[in-house]
Amino acid sequence: MRYLAEQTFPVADVVEARDGTRFDYIEGRPCALFTYVDGTAGESPGETGCADLTSGVTAARLLAQMHLVTQGRTFPGSRTEHSDPITRLARWVSGDGADPEFLDIPGGPAFLHHLKRLLHTLDSELDQRGNVWVGLVHGDVGPNNLVLDSAGTVAALLDFDDCLYSYVIYDLASILWYWGRSAGGDLDGTRIRNLIDAYSAVRELTADERHLLAPLFASYIAGDAIGKITWWWRGARKPRPVEAIDSGRAYLDLATNPTTTDLFADRA
């Protein structure tokens, strides 16, 4: 974040301690103090996402700017083991997903089947397509992580807690999920394409990236779904049908409806 602040990218800068250190650890997790940012953060998106598409377009452009600013740079403290889409999903498949009890959850067998297919697709496609940027990924660009000043300008992008070093187009997934849905919560092709266009107007996507955007987006919502599914199943001890969970329902729709690939079609 210090690097981003030095590049005048809107973030809260890190406050240095007297000895020059910028962060420490509490119970094994990094912690730091940040400068105060005057403004108002947005509301956390509900189960149908964020209706204000204009703020989503702003977020997409800001994200593209961050990717350009950090192009070609690596940073210490990667959280790939925690947040990398493929690693996270593969670990769940071999862990909780391998528990026979999961198959008793309504929609569980279909969800697991399509998740395994997605992992196979990503492994094959990422191996074949080389023109895909790798760099700093924020991991959770949503309205609640944007601070706006009194004029409505973005004063800071917050919460780099889940940042990692991965395929930068994976970063677009959270924006498409939060702002790319209709009022009823369904994925909306027009909104999704507007958000992709807003990002690409600042940093043009390669052909390989456009091809991989759909499966990487699927991996994002699948990752969101396994967190919620597992919490209801393991944590609350009240397993919910996969389709009763917003991201679970959206993932199964992406996986089973061939027309959903049109959501990401390039209109150029």
Q: What is the pLDDT of residue 212?
A: 92
Under the banding of pLDDT at 50, 70 and 90, the label for residue 79 is low
Q: Which two tokens stand for residue 258?
A: 């061939």
Within-domain flag for 61: yes
Question: CA-CA distance, 194 to 246, in Å (whole number)?
Answer: 22
Q: What is the pLDDT of residue 77?
A: 57
* pLDDT value of position 17: 86
Say if residue 78's pLDDT is above 60: no
Mean pLDDT for 129-133 is 89
Residue 106 within any structural domain of the chain: yes
Share of the chain above pLDDT 70, in %: 95
- Give CA separation, 138 vs 4, 115, 159, 184, in Å: 12, 24, 8, 27
pLDDT at 199: 97
End-to-end CA distance of the chain: 35
CATH number for the domain that contains residue 74: 3.90.1200.10
Is residue 83 scored above 70 in pLDDT?
no
9 part of a folded domain: no
Q: Over 80: is that where the pLDDT of 73 sits?
A: yes
CA distance 181 to 184: 8
User: To the nearest whole number, what is the mean pLDDT of the chain?
Assistant: 90
| pLDDT confidence tier of residue 12, bands split at 50, 70 and 90 | very high
**Half-sphere CA count of 211, side-chain side, radius 13 A:** 13
The pLDDT of residue 266 is above 60: yes
Query: CB-based contacts of 109: which residues, under 8 Å, 6+ apart?
Result: 103
pLDDT attached to residue 26: 87
Evaluate whether residue 10 is within a structural domain: no
Tokens of 237: 């001890």
Residue 161: what pLDDT?
80
Report yes or no: 56 and 121 within 8 Å, Cβ to Cβ.
no
pLDDT for res 249: 95
Residue 261 pLDDT: 67
Q: Are residues 139 and 174 in contact, defined by beta-carbon separation less than 8 angstroms?
A: yes
Q: 134-180: per-residue pLDDT in tens?
A: 999 998 999 999 999 999 899 999 998 878 888 999 999 999 999 99
The tokens 């991989």 sit on which residue? 212
Q: Is the pLDDT of residue 32 over 80?
A: yes
Tell me, yes or no, whether 154 lies in a domain: yes
Distance CA 76, CA 214 (A): 29
- On whether residue 14 sits in a domain, the answer given is no
Confirm whether 18 is domain-assigned: no
Instruction: Please report whether residue 26 resides in a domain.
Output: no
What is the domain count for the chain? 1
Whose tokens are 């209109």? That residue is: 267
* Cβ atoms of residues 219 and 89 within 8 Å: yes
Q: Which helix (H) or strand (E) holds 40?
A: strand 40-41
Distances (CA, A) of 193 to 132, 202, 244, 266: 19, 15, 26, 8
Between CA 148 and CA 10 the distance in angstroms is 10
- Cα–Cα distance for residue pair 43/241, rounded to 1 Å: 27
Confidence of residue 122 (pLDDT cuts 50, 70, 90): very high
What pLDDT, in 10s, does the model give residues 176-229? 999 999 988 899 999 999 999 999 999 999 999 999 999 999 999 999 999 999
Domain holding 237, by residue range, is 37-264
pLDDT above 90 coverage of the chain, percent: 66
